[in-house]
Each structure stands twice: as structure tokens, then as C-alpha cells.
Amino acid sequence: MRRSTAAAVGTLTGAALIVGVRLSVQPPAAPVAAPPAVDLAGGTPAPKPSASGNKSGKSPAKTQAPKTGLKDGVFKGKGATNPYGTVQVSIRIENGEITGADATYPTTADSATINPPAVAALKQETLGAKTAKDVAAVSGATYTSKSYAESLQAALDAAKA
């Protein structure tokens, strides 16, 4: 009889410990999959604790600096680059506590296996080669004055001058 009671207490204690551990390591609103980017700055602030019950002025909650040392506001982390792209994390602090967290995720095609592309790729077509008649300007990779001199645009300019 005594033995079985002790065993039950032991089990309960163990369970309580496990619950405690899980609560203490749970991150605030940790994103588990790639969510759409959320602008924390535009979000609705969490309801603030009411100050109406503290009219005596004895409660220092409103004036004292938060124990955590965190300033209120939305803060963005420096982007971290991994093989799949750049991830930037934002957090929102209210009353010295983290009340929201979000991250932007890479959208490049090399991360397509992780984040499925939202739209189809550009459609393939036949590469054309037309003479540049009836064009007013030419777009091209002309980086230097020398390459400009050799470009279709230079020829157009000469023709108009």
C-alpha cells in the first residue's frame, strides 16, 4: 500500500517537472514554417495591464524600468545568410517583454525546395535577332565609354545629331 502511493507521487512529480521544463524553453511565438512576412510595427499592440487599480501611486510598475532591460519598440536583427538565403528576424517589445517575433525567409529559387515558388517561372521562347530599325533607344549592358561608342545607341545618337 505505501509503496504504490510513493510510486504515484513520484510519477506526478516527474510529470510536473517535465511540464515546467517545456514551458521554460518555449520560445515566444517561434515561427515553425515559412510564414508570410509580417510587419510587426503595424500590428495591434497587446492589451497593456490596466493602471486603474494603482491610483495610490504605490505601484512602481509604470515608472520603473523593466527588469529585463529591454526597450519597447520593434527591433530588426542583422540579416543572417545561410546556404538558402538571408533570414532576418524582428521582435516586438512591450513593457520590457517580447510580445511578438517574426522572420523573413529567403525567396530565391535556390531555396525553392524549401519555400515553394509563388508563381511560375518566366516562359521560354525563341531568342530573336532583329535589326534595330524603328527603335528610339537601346537597352544593353554598356558599362564604359568605349562600349557606348560601339553600341547601337551611339549609332542612333549619331543619326539624330
Partner 1 sequence: MGTTVSIELTPDRPDDELRALIADVCGWLHEVDARFSTYKADSEVCRFRRKEITHADLSPDMRHVLDACADLWRDTDGYFDAYATGPLDPSGYVKGWSVEVASARLLAKGSNSHYINAGGDIRMRGHHPDGGPWRVGIRHPWEADKVSWVLALTDGAVATSGTYERGDHVVNPRTGKPAQGLRSVTVVGPDLALADAYATAALAMGEPGIAWLAKRALDGYDSAVVTDDGRAFSSANLPAAV
Q: Which residues bind partner 1 (CB under 8 A)?
A: 79, 81, 85-86, 88, 104, 106-110, 112, 117-132, 134-145, 147-154, 156-157, 160
Which residue, 99 or 107, has its beta carbon nearer to partner 1?
107
**Minimum distance of partner 1 from residue 146's CB (angstroms):** 10
Contact status, residue 102 vs residue 90, Cβ threshold 8 Å: yes
Which residue, 45 or 77, has its beta carbon nearer to partner 1?
77
Q: CA nearest 88: which of 37, 44, 43?
A: 37
Q: How far does Cα 60 stand from its chain's mean position?
A: 35
Per DSSP, the three-state class of 126 is coil
Which residue, 32 or 141, has its beta carbon nearer to partner 1?
141
Name 88's bridge partners: 104
**Minimum distance of partner 1 from residue 154's CB (angstroms):** 8
Per DSSP, the three-state class of 96 is coil
